[in-house]
A and B are shown apart, each in its own frame.
Chain A
Amino acid sequence: MTEFGISRFGAYIPRLRLDRSIIAAAHAWMAPGLKGQAKGSRAFTNWDEDTITMGVEAARDAVGPGDLQGVGAVRLASTNLPYADLQNAAIVARALGAADGVATSDAAGSQRAGTSALLQALKGTEPSLVIAADNPFAKPASAQELSFGAGAAAFMVSDQNIAARLVGSATVANVFVDHFRSADADSDYNWEERWVRDEGYAKIVPNAVKAALADAQLTMGDIQHFVMPSYLKGAADAVAKKLKFAGTVAGGLEDGVGYAGAAHALLMLAATLEKAGPGERILLVGFGQGADALIFQTTDAIASVRPARGVAGSIADGLPTDSYLRMLSFYNGIEAEWGMRSEKSGKTALTEQYRSADQLEGFNAGKCGSCGTVQFPQLQYCVNCHTSNDQFADVPLRDEVAEVLTSTADWLSYHPAPPLWVGFVRFHSGARLLMEMVDIGKDGIDTGAKLRMVYRIKEKDRQRGYNRYFWKATPLGAA
């Protein structure tokens, strides 16, 4: 038992959904057998989402508006981080408004990266934010293409206001290679499922579970929730049965999400915590080159820390789409003819990005010290009274509610998800600026519609492999 536990949590599932039957239908000419697995819908990322942007969204759901006061570290776990050498967690932390002094680190390399990062934080010495975000890509017409999804979950680990306390844990490590992906590959190479199920999950997980139960001085009968992610259907039920577990086996979030890689264990934990009552015990398993087993016990605080959106809210917030090729294009599976407008250089002046970091990362408008006008961007003098910008105070716009003043759907500009929706947005504080709008439903968007801000990829520099990120507006409740 450590003095740290989960004090808050949140989740984000990308809003775009595709019925698996649409994917299977696209492949019916070569893989008619996929039809049998094509149930429900999976989530997929918009062109401007990745594990960084999803991580930011999940963390905002966990933390709520405001800064990360008291948080000493931000850890980001994923096996699909956009950068190999450029710390992804640092980008997330800055977008969340973390202080300069926060420690940041990426955790990667295994499907249990999420559970391992959470365990490290719980055994650590300072309050921290643990985020797992993943977006696994599978080859077209593979079974994984149907079963995979995307999402992110975030947990505040603290010694205050604990809602779920870690009461025991264990880890076993080995090199059981159920699948692998080399550093330069896009998709996994998978071994036979029966071997993975029987020699892997069925033998390795019980060893870790037994050790964790011993650590907690508990037995399986003391556990109410068994939470084990797997990309193999039925794997959790089989392990639960082997462990003679009589409680609730957490669902795999197959419908509306899909298996979200290293984030999936933490997404399932978040979904379980959303429903759990006080005093319940949850056994969480992460599998990959061994297994992590974490046993939590909820406290009376659990009912008061339910996230605004969470997993259930994210699933309910889906935007149905209807084209397999759209999803494939967003995952760089096809190179469409985007026309000459797409040839514009997307080179980012890294010097400028660093100089302007306060405005770009935290979406900070400036409030004029003389006349009080809130303005974005912060230029050299106040737009209203011409007072120098050294008299401005930062006003973060990222958590402000805003509304549409005007919008237009632009089919002419190059945009990876046409049309480009662009228009003027007015913030509660009075700031007004032209913004890109994303995740617009089929009904478009009207003047006066309420908006929230989301951190997204502003532009992809495909020539150099660099993404620039910025904030975009998205309508609340678009369908």
Chain B
Amino acid sequence: MATGIKDKVAILGMGCSKFGERWDAGSPDLMKEAFEEALADAGIERNQIEAAWFGCWGDSINVGNSSIPAAMALRLEGIPVSRVENMCATGTEALRGAVYAVASGAVDIALAIGAEKLKDTGFGGLPPPFKGTFNDMWMPMGSAPAGFAQLAPYYRAKYGTSKEDLKRAISHVSWKSHQNGVHSPKAHFQKAVPMETIMNAPMISDPLGLFDCSGVSDGSACAIVTTPEIAKALGKKDLVTIKALQLSTSSGRETQMNDWDGSYVATTRNAAARAYKEAGITDPKTQVHLSEVHDCFSITELVTMEDLGFSDDGRAVFDILDGRYDRDGAMPCQIDGGLKCFGHPIGASGLRMAYELYNQLLGRAGERQLSSPSIGLTHNLGGVPYQGIAAISVLGLA
């Protein structure tokens, strides 16, 4: 009988590069920045790492295929290094590899590092992906905002939400993240933006305007994990352990069947149910104290609040406008600015989220520090709402 990974693995150290338009740094430089911070935090030498997982998404940019670029950048000599790619869930996927390796007893100390260099494309935005020889022949080549914008009409139809109310709520999502970004020195965007500017920004894909879209950023984040016993033996007093790590991938049901109504993300609900079970969470509204969720677009964060059970179905619009997810609300979300302001270097994002929770749980979040949270949740969504990968981690104090 599988017992899950709750409390079997502890975070020994974490690092995160400055996110943003890093004209000064390539992927290997960004990895170095995150890696050095994590090594120092863990208090170990690089040769104590026994296995590593490297996550990055874009093949046409970045460092090329395989784990070799990471092994060379960080001089990981002679150890197994794996490269993982799972769209925007890539960072969490890398963490999962490292955590499972430790939990299985195969290694004592493992490294997860994610990096993405999106600003080497020559334009603002993501390069259009290759979808496969067959899919490219029939599937429309829509942009990411076009894919996520389609949540809006379904949601509005299901709950009778007016266009105006939905726009106000998603604008509040972005407004709140910009407020939080002010206190986040490694964030891409660190400026507050007035509601009016957000509401009236140029349309990208109706109803998503410019400020409803996350930043396109460079960055890297990194975690070194081990067993709680080894962490303690290495001198760690307060331990952040992995309470749950779950993924859910679309099998095509949402796109090909008519039982999905388009107003929620099925993979998030699946992954959340399994993660809560693994972590022993029965009432996420009260037992989860803060979250970093995949706000690639503001509408995504809104439906995610319901998919994670933080808001009742149909109530996220009201909870958001009531400030429930604001910095001073009951369940702060994106306290570091989220994808919207911290930035979204795809392969690094899941680990960046974990980095913020780790620091918050240890009371090391500086100006952003919340009052003694003990359980946090990260959520990534790769792909699009109707065909994607949801990745959820629950981190907490041991």
- A residues touching B (Cβ–Cβ < 8 Å)? 339-341, 344-345, 348-349, 351-353, 356, 359-360, 373, 375-377, 379, 383-384, 405-414, 420, 422-424, 426, 430-436, 447, 458-459, 468, 470
Do A383 and B386 have beta carbons less than 8 Å apart?
Answer: no
* Cβ contacts under 8 Å, A351 to chain B: 133
Residues 227-266 of chain B, each 1 if its beta carbon lies under 8 Å from chain A, else 0: 0000000000000000000000001110111100010000
Q: Cα distance A459–B131 when bound, in Å?
A: 14
Which among B141, B154, B262 has the greatest number of chain A C-beta atoms within 10 A? Answer: B141
Do A434 and B140 have beta carbons less than 8 Å apart?
Answer: yes
* Cβ contacts under 8 Å, A423 to chain B: 150
Can you give 26 contacting A-B residue pairs, CB < 8 Å?
A340-B121, A340-B123, A341-B123, A341-B125, A341-B127, A344-B127, A351-B133, A375-B256, A377-B134, A383-B257, A405-B262, A407-B153, A408-B149, A408-B153, A408-B206, A409-B205, A411-B203, A412-B204, A412-B205, A420-B142, A423-B150, A424-B255, A430-B258, A432-B256, A447-B153, A470-B137
Do B134 and A408 have beta carbons less than 8 Å apart?
Answer: no
Do A410 and B146 have beta carbons less than 8 Å apart?
Answer: yes
B107-155 residues at the A interface, CB under 8 angstroms:
121-123, 125, 127-128, 130, 133-134, 136-143, 145-146, 149-150, 153-154
B256-289 residues at the A interface, CB under 8 angstroms:
256-258, 262
Do A432 and B255 have beta carbons less than 8 Å apart?
Answer: yes
Do A408 and B137 have beta carbons less than 8 Å apart?
Answer: no
Q: Cα distance A411–B251 when bound, in Å?
A: 29
Do B128 and A377 have beta carbons less than 8 Å apart?
Answer: no
CB distance from B159 to the nearest CB of A (A): 14
Partner of B123, one of A339, A345, A359, A430: A339
* Cβ contacts under 8 Å, A447 to chain B: 153, 157
Q: Cα distance A426–B256 when bound, in Å?
A: 9
Do A352 and B205 have beta carbons less than 8 Å apart?
Answer: no
Q: Cα distance A408–B204 when bound, in Å?
A: 10
* Cβ contacts under 8 Å, A384 to chain B: 253, 257
Q: A341-B123, A408-B205, A420-B142 are in contact. Are A373 and B133 (CB under 8 A)?
A: no
CB distance from B16 to the nearest CB of A (A): 28
* Cβ contacts under 8 Å, B149 to chain A: 408, 410
CB distance from A239 to the nearest CB of B (A): 48
Do A341 and B128 have beta carbons less than 8 Å apart?
Answer: yes
B166-211 residues at the A interface, CB under 8 angstroms:
203-206
Q: Cα distance A99–B27 when bound, in Å?
A: 54
* Cβ contacts under 8 Å, A409 to chain B: 205-206
Q: Cα distance A468–B252 when bound, in Å?
A: 24
Do A420 and B146 have beta carbons less than 8 Å apart?
Answer: yes
* Cβ contacts under 8 Å, B145 to chain A: 410, 412
Do A424 and B122 have beta carbons less than 8 Å apart?
Answer: no
Do B153 and A406 have beta carbons less than 8 Å apart?
Answer: yes
Q: A411-B204, A420-B142 are in contact. Are A468 and B128 (CB under 8 A)?
A: no
Nearest-neighbor residue (CB-CB) of A469 within chain B: B137
Q: Cα distance A119–B140 when bound, in Å?
A: 41
Do A360 and B206 have beta carbons less than 8 Å apart?
Answer: no
Do B128 and A411 have beta carbons less than 8 Å apart?
Answer: no
Q: Cα distance A434–B146 when bound, in Å?
A: 12
Contacts A341-B128, A349-B133 known; 4 new A-B pairs at CB < 8 A: A352-B137, A383-B256, A413-B141, A447-B157
Q: Cα distance A352–B133 when bound, in Å?
A: 6
CB distance from A366 to the nearest CB of B (A): 10
CB distance from B57 to the nearest CB of A (A): 16
CB distance from A302 to the nearest CB of B (A): 40
Partner of B257, one of A341, A373, A406, A408: A373
Q: Cα distance A291–B257 when bound, in Å?
A: 56
Nearest-neighbor residue (CB-CB) of B123 within chain A: A340
* Cβ contacts under 8 Å, A413 to chain B: 128, 141-143, 146
Q: Cα distance A403–B134 when bound, in Å?
A: 25
* Cβ contacts under 8 Å, A359 to chain B: 138
Do A412 and B146 have beta carbons less than 8 Å apart?
Answer: yes
Partner of A426, one of B123, B138, B258: B258
CB distance from A367 to the nearest CB of B (A): 12
CB distance from A352 to the nearest CB of B (A): 4
CB distance from A316 to the nearest CB of B (A): 29
CB distance from B161 to the nearest CB of A (A): 14
Do A408 and B150 have beta carbons less than 8 Å apart?
Answer: yes
Do B140 and A436 have beta carbons less than 8 Å apart?
Answer: yes
* Cβ contacts under 8 Å, A434 to chain B: 139-140, 142, 255, 386
Q: Cα distance A341–B127 when bound, in Å?
A: 7
The 3 A-B pairs at the shortest CB distance, nearest first, are namely A410-B146, A349-B133, A352-B133
Q: Cα distance A411–B142 when bound, in Å?
A: 9
Partner of A458, one of B122, B138, B142: B138
Which among B127, B137, B145 has the greatest number of chain A C-beta atoms within 10 A? Answer: B137
Q: Cα distance A383–B257 when bound, in Å?
A: 7
CB distance from B361 to the nearest CB of A (A): 37
Q: Cα distance A411–B146 when bound, in Å?
A: 9
* Cβ contacts under 8 Å, B253 to chain A: 383-384
Q: Cα distance A178–B272 when bound, in Å?
A: 73
Residues 309-344 of chain B, each 1 if its beta carbon lies under 8 Å from chain A, else 0: 000000000000000000000000000000000000
Q: A339-B123, A359-B138, A408-B146 are in contact. Are A379 and B252 (CB under 8 A)?
A: yes
Q: Cα distance A352–B257 when bound, in Å?
A: 25
Nearest-neighbor residue (CB-CB) of A363 within chain B: B138
Do A360 and B137 have beta carbons less than 8 Å apart?
Answer: yes
CB distance from B167 to the nearest CB of A (A): 15
Q: A344-B127, A422-B146 are in contact. Are A377 and B138 (CB under 8 A)?
A: yes
* Cβ contacts under 8 Å, B133 to chain A: 349, 351-352
Nearest-neighbor residue (CB-CB) of A470 within chain B: B138
Q: Cα distance A434–B262 when bound, in Å?
A: 12
Do B125 and A376 have beta carbons less than 8 Å apart?
Answer: no
* Cβ contacts under 8 Å, B134 to chain A: 352, 356, 377
* Cβ contacts under 8 Å, A340 to chain B: 121-123
CB distance from A440 to the nearest CB of B (A): 13
Nearest-neighbor residue (CB-CB) of A431 within chain B: B256
* Cβ contacts under 8 Å, B386 to chain A: 424, 434
Q: Cα distance A406–B158 when bound, in Å?
A: 12
CB distance from A373 to the nearest CB of B (A): 7
Q: Cα distance A414–B125 when bound, in Å?
A: 12
* Cβ contacts under 8 Å, B125 to chain A: 341, 412
* Cβ contacts under 8 Å, B262 to chain A: 405-406, 424
Which among A339, A411, A433 has the greatest number of chain B C-beta atoms within 10 A? Answer: A411
* Cβ contacts under 8 Å, A375 to chain B: 256-257
CB distance from B370 to the nearest CB of A (A): 35
Q: A339-B123, A406-B154 are in contact. Are A376 and B142 (CB under 8 A)?
A: no
Nearest-neighbor residue (CB-CB) of A339 within chain B: B123
Partner of B137, one of A373, A430, A435, A468: A468
Q: Cα distance A430–B257 when bound, in Å?
A: 8
Do B257 and A424 have beta carbons less than 8 Å apart?
Answer: no
* Cβ contacts under 8 Å, A426 to chain B: 258
Which among A351, A426, A436 has the greatest number of chain B C-beta atoms within 10 A? Answer: A436
Nearest-neighbor residue (CB-CB) of B148 within chain A: A408
* Cβ contacts under 8 Å, A376 to chain B: 256
CB distance from A438 to the nearest CB of B (A): 11
Nearest-neighbor residue (CB-CB) of A344 within chain B: B128
CB distance from B298 to the nearest CB of A (A): 15
CB distance from B243 to the nearest CB of A (A): 32
Nearest-neighbor residue (CB-CB) of B156 within chain A: A447
Q: Cα distance A356–B135 when bound, in Å?
A: 11
